[in-house]
Structure 1
Amino acid sequence: MKKLFLAAILVISGSSAMMAQSDLAFGIKGGVNFSNLTGDGFGEYDDDSARTSFNLGAVLEIPVSEKFAIQPEVFYSGQGFDLVQREDAEDTEFQLDYINVPVLAKIYLVQGLYLEAGPQVGFLVESKIDGPNATIGLNEDNFNDIDFAGAVGVGYKFNGGLYLNARYTQGFTDIYDGETGDDSTKNGVFAASLGFIFN
């Protein structure tokens, strides 16, 4: 898995080398995730039991024109859902955590305000059930190591580099490894992030 993470870093580095220009901008981001599972296989768990977690990583904005840019990213993303919700907030969580690498097209509508969309590949780094009394590691062989997804979002970039972002990512890959028939179960994540672009 470390090799996959290093490969993701190389993708970002390679993009900067190929697109080297004075307007190329590196940034950082972090925020909160509200994740759940979607699809026929989720069945009775398809309710409001979203897991609350975090995202944290790096971004690279590559301007193509005044209104259009390409933005590859690498970030850690806590995903999954709540198996059991409790009033004291000590939930039991089904946790699937990923290193995600999206490549997004950004269209600036007016100064600062932008829409974004693009593909994403995720690399599974941890799978477990975490409760108030115990943590149980899950066999990663039961899950797909790679998660392909699509992301759409909206954001606002302030003068100086600070930006706000809201994004929804829908998985296309069954989280479970092997034949599942109609019982497909996929990741769905809403993320709200705060970031800074170093211009």
Structure 2
Amino acid sequence: MKNTITQFSMLIFLLVATSGFAQKDFYVGLKAGGNLSGFTTNDFLSTDVFGLQVGAIGVKNFNRNFAAQVEVVFNQKGGIFEIPFSDSNPEIKLNYISVPILGKTYLSNNITFELGPEIGFLVSKSTTSVGGFAGLDQIKSLDLGASAGFSFQFYSGLVIQTRYTYGLSKLVDGSDYRNSYINLSVGHFFKK
């Protein structure tokens, strides 16, 4: 985990450091925010939990109407399973390095609609359940999702984003558990 955080920090530093060499139609920035995440499943009810999101953003404008955005973010996901007839409701915490790859359509000069896939690489997992959670060791290390959202960018470089991501891949083979989360974040683009 410590090695992953070090590598992630170095990647963010390189993205920010190289932004000075960027063309005017390409820019990078940093973002931080919160996730409200849970599991979609037909087996049990799931209560959402709060997690953090922090990372780097890169945007390439193709024209006045369309751009591509790639992010590399540390993403905390998870949820609380509400198991019927049980006193144990395990809270599962999953930490990912996520890479959303989004197409952006400009609805105005400041507002964009964003849509695209998200790839998540599991870096750690834990549970608060006293006896543990039997399926914790079976959680897959790769999580695929579909993201859609909006962003509002100020001329100063400040950006506010909101997004919903629905898990396309199952967390565990043989079950229908999928990650699902809503995100609200604030960022800043470093423009030339």
TM-score, normalised with respect to structure 2: 0.80
The residue that corresponds to 1:155 in the other structure is: 151
Deviation at 1:93, TM superposition (A): 2.6
List runs of 5+ in structure 1 lacking aligned partners: 85-90
> Could you list the per-position Cα deviations for residues 44-70 of structure 1 after superposition, in whole angstroms to 9, with x for gaps in the alignment?
224xx1011110000001111112110
> Could you list the per-position Cα deviations for residues 18-65 of structure 1 after superposition, in whole angstroms to 9, with x for gaps in the alignment?
xx633210100010100000033xx2224xx10111100000011111
The residue that corresponds to 1:88 in the other structure is: none
Aligned pair count reads 179
TM-score, normalised with respect to structure 1: 0.77
List runs of 5+ in structure 2 lacking aligned partners: 83-88
Quick check: 1:189 aligned with 2:181? yes
> Could you list the per-position Cα deviations for residues 50-102 of structure 1 after superposition, in whole angstroms to 9, with x for gaps in the alignment?
01111000000111111211000000111111347xxxxxx963111111001
The residue that corresponds to 1:166 in the other structure is: 162
Q: Judge conservation of contact 2:167–2:178 (CA < 8 Å) in 1.
A: yes
Q: Judge conservation of contact 1:30–1:195 (CA < 8 Å) in 2.
A: yes
Judged with a 3 Å threshold, the aligned counterparts in structure 2 of structure 1 residues 138 and 95 are, in CA distance, closer, same or farther, namely farther
Q: CA RMSD in A?
A: 3.2
CA–CA distance in structure 2, aligned partners of residues 114 and 78 of structure 1: 25
Q: Secondary structure at the match of 2:169?
A: coil
Q: Secondary structure at the match of 2:107?
A: strand
1:73-84 paired onto structure 2 within 5 Å:
73-83=71-81
Q: Secondary structure at the match of 1:110?
A: coil
Q: Match for 2:28: what amino acid?
A: F
Q: Percent identity?
A: 28
Q: Judge conservation of contact 1:127–1:139 (CA < 8 Å) in 2.
A: no
Q: Judge conservation of contact 1:36–1:50 (CA < 8 Å) in 2.
A: yes
Q: Match for 2:128: what amino acid?
A: D
The residue that corresponds to 1:95 in the other structure is: 93
CA–CA distance in structure 2, aligned partners of residues 58 and 196 of structure 1: 10
> Could you list the per-position Cα deviations for residues 124-164 of structure 1 after superposition, in whole angstroms to 9, with x for gaps in the alignment?
01111137xx7969886411110111100011001111011
